[in-house]
Structure 1
Amino acid sequence: MQLIDLSVTMEYTEGEPVPVEIEYVNHEQGADLLGKPAGIDRTAFPSSMGLSIEFVKLTTHSGTHIDAPAHYGPLCEGQTAKTIEDLPLDWFFHDGVLIDCSEEPVNEPITAAEIEQKLTRMNYDIKPFDIVLLRTGADKYWKKAEYFTNFRGVTREATEWLVVRGVKVIGIDSFGFDAPFHAMLSEYKKKQQSACLWPAHIYGREKEYCQIERLANLDKIPLNTGFTVACFPIKIRNCGAGWSRVVAIINV
């Protein structure tokens, strides 16, 4: 069995618009912290060392994470949209389908026609609960400012094309699932149409699905199909997203 890590490391980088903050408490400091309630310090501990700890400040959308329907809007399919802790576990352990979209221009979004064409070349029909991974190559910009701006995004129509076929989880190796923020805002200024703003996300108000953002190493998966994806999200109360350690499992 081969396991391929498809997640980025949670850390401070230029690619995160909201910086991840990590405060490290080393073993000596940890001893002082643990001993304080009893009035002792590190000198009471073996080798003057206790236990280390880290304090982390970040958003639910930092690093590799899964967006729940509640992120897209308060309602989905006419019902209260599910938050991350409410989602069925079995959505997140299924057959994977890797679609390579890395050859197209970075300023062109992934369309339904492109997905359909590539699946035809693969001789594969999407089935319900497949976990679809869209490789664009944008993860090469991770840790760089360009990570926030240079990626393709997915159209509403492409999202709908997959979701109506029973897909519940769609992943991509870029900062966001829709087009870059600056591109959507620029288009809105020109057209003055609300449909220009986060269209793939907002489709999630109509049909229930999740998206994985900020995947990595999709180029390391040697198969387009015939592998399994595990991507269980962390349970966080009443949140629209949760972090995930996404793994491709290949039986060899």
Structure 2
Amino acid sequence: MTLIDLTCRLDPNDLALVPQNMPDLAAIIAPSVEYQPHETSGRDLMIASFGCTADDLPGGEGPAGEILHRMSSHCGTHVDAPLHSGRFCEGRPSRSVSDFALEELYRPGLVLDVRAWTEPGGAIPVEALERAVAATGREIRDGDAVLIRTGQERYAIGDPRYFAYPGMSGAGTRYLAGLGATILGTDALGWDRPIPAMRKAFQETGDTGQIWDGHYAVKDKEVLIVQQLENLGALPPAGFMVGFFPMKLMGTTAAPARVVAFVENGVRAGRT
């Protein structure tokens, strides 16, 4: 068995790479970190806690730590619960991220390689999804986790193309959910097209269906959406298990997650 980490890094240094015209993205890229060193904050904590002096501590040090600031529940690789998309899903109150059992978060996986059909800021066509499903060698089954490989691994956060990712439409989301998938993931920053692309399409056409349509589709059919995956090229098209384990934040619309694929030895990865 080989374990493959599909989780992106959370590096506060990446905050400096967020475009100035998109400041709200900072909270989903990484937290800002207040470092508490051994020789200052840690030392002072021990002195206050134990009534000792610095000379009483090994090396004059206390425990180091960090305080995280401005960290969204949608930061980094994260799981979106249906509650993120609306108060109701399939006509019932939407479930939060803490409402899902572990069994629902450990599922058979497929990778849909749609790189040949994507364009920056564009919606991934349903026809591309159909072809990518056929290329896996098996159909989507009830309870599958379907991971969309858009090719965004080519771009670092400092590259403008990282923020001009291809996204999923409402039609594409409903297509995959309708086939039985219960978890949908992407290697892109977001599930939908970038907001500037959706805004432009809405203002040019007046079509309200251009507004966040990939996420709103979850109101019709319950699925979990996972964003900011990486390393999908190391996976086979099918024949593996994947675990999506979010932090146990009670009642929230999302939570950062450690996502790991479990691949049997001898199963070959897909196209690089």
TM-score class, shorter: over 0.9
1:100-249 pair list within 5 angstroms: 100-107=113-120, 108-144=122-158, 146=160, 149-221=163-235, 223-249=236-262
C-alpha separation in 2, matches of 1:42 and 1:103: 62
- Any runs of at least 4 consecutive aligned residues in structure 1 with deviations exceeding 4 A, and if so which? none
Gap runs ≥5 in structure 1: none
Please give the per-residue CA displacement for 1:55-76, whole angstroms capped at 9, x wherever unaligned: 1120011100010000000111
1:4-83 pair list within 5 angstroms: 4-12=4-12, 13=14, 14-15=17-18, 17-19=25-27, 20-29=31-40, 30-57=42-69, 58-83=71-96
* TM-score relative to the length of structure 2: 0.87
Among the aligned pairs, what percent are the same residue?
Answer: 28
Q: Secondary structure in 2 aligned to 1:232?
A: strand
Please give the per-residue CA displacement for 1:167-186, whole angstroms capped at 9, x wherever unaligned: 11111001100001110011
Aligned length: 251
Equivalent pair of 1:28/1:42 in contact (CA under 8 Å)? no
Please give the per-residue CA displacement for 1:5-61, whole angstroms capped at 9, x wherever unaligned: 111111222258224201111222313223313333433211112211111120011
* TM-score relative to the length of structure 1: 0.93
C-alpha separation in 2, matches of 1:220 and 1:238: 33
Gap runs ≥5 in structure 2: 19-23, 266-272
C-alpha separation in 1, matches of 2:230 and 2:253: 22
C-alpha separation in 2, matches of 1:139 and 1:209: 24
Q: CA RMSD in A?
A: 1.7
C-alpha separation in 1, matches of 2:162 and 2:89: 28
Change in Cα spacing, 1:40 to 1:65, as seen in structure 2 (3 Å) is same
Change in Cα spacing, 1:44 to 1:138, as seen in structure 2 (3 Å) is same
Q: Secondary structure in 1 aligned to 2:49?
A: helix
Q: Which has the higher helix share?
A: 2
Q: Secondary structure in 1 aligned to 2:242?
A: strand
Please give the per-residue CA displacement for 1:195-225, whole angstroms capped at 9, x wherever unaligned: 111101001111111110001111122x111
C-alpha separation in 1, matches of 2:110 and 2:36: 41
Report deviation, 1:147: 5.6
